[in-house]
Structure 1
């Protein structure tokens, strides 16, 4: 499988993958298909700014992931992780997580964090395989009342040195 890091001109690819993800797994994301379906081209292009973040797709529509680092945050945030149902269980998630970790390390960042919905056992297993640890941090899911998310973090120097 070939991974592709997206540039602003790839906005349609990111849009199509993101809308497919929202359609397939609406409770996994903080946004909705209805909300993002109305985004303009300018908004999609603005989302993809290589200097401050990363968007990666697996060619052929198999999956996607994003990552970004806000100035005031101590860690890179992995977000928009999604694997097409036909490709689940084939290592696509591992490729995508690995690409985020490689990018974060190359940027000199020390930590990667993410939010995972409670009960999403497959996602937790994927992240744990890469060294992420569950924290005590918990928050209500932004789009689904009654659903909570848990924070997971990974210290890159520890993950790379054992």
Structure 2
């Protein structure tokens, strides 16, 4: 049975294997076009961000577990909305969503995103964003199924 609970700073270390798997997936789908940090180097940066967001109250960590243990997580952050768009004073940002390869396609990501939506609604937030590597076609499909639409395109180029 899949359960989702809110995590704390003490739980941040438990998501490391899922983070590492996500970084390696990014390498597989886009690593020929763009440099990807080692999972360890990326984790050092992201772990500090997670702890900061959880400590300052702008972040929420959600952990998805089954009898087999941790199968997925989501990190949701609340940010001020931008100046151009009338999206309310704050928006949500799905900073990370990771599911162990063995559990993909079983509704774990959908469930985590549903819990994120619930938290955002409770805070009176009407909009949220997610960044996704264009080459990560499975993730793009998931986010489109979950109601996200192309909104803002960020381009990356070499100097």
Provide the residue aligned with 1:112 in structure 2. Answer: 128
Normalised to the residue count of structure 2, the TM-score between the two structures is 0.71
| Structure ranking higher on relative contact order (CA contacts 8 Å, 6+ apart) | 2
- Residue 58 of structure 1 corresponds to 64
- Counterpart contact for 1:5–1:55, Cα < 8 Å: yes
Q: Is the 8 A contact 1:11 1:48 kept in 2?
A: no
Q: Is the 8 A contact 1:8 1:49 kept in 2?
A: yes
Gaps of 5+ in 2: 31-35, 83-89
Q: Which ranges of structure 1 fall in alignment gaps of 5 or more residues?
A: 146-162
Instruction: Give, in whole Å, the separation in 1 of the partners of 2:92 and 2:16.
Output: 22
Name whichever structure is richer in strand by fraction.
1
Q: CA deviation at 1:12?
A: 2.1
Q: CA–CA distance in 2 between the matches of 1:136 and 1:11?
A: 30
**What are the residue-to-residue correspondences of 1:70-81 with 2, within 5 Å?**
70-71=79-80, 73=82, 74-81=90-97
Aligned ranges 1:141-152 → 2 under 5 Å: none
RMSD: 3.0
**Count of residues in Structure 1 that have an aligned counterpart in Structure 2:** 141
- Cα 1:31–1:95 shift into 2, 3 Å: farther
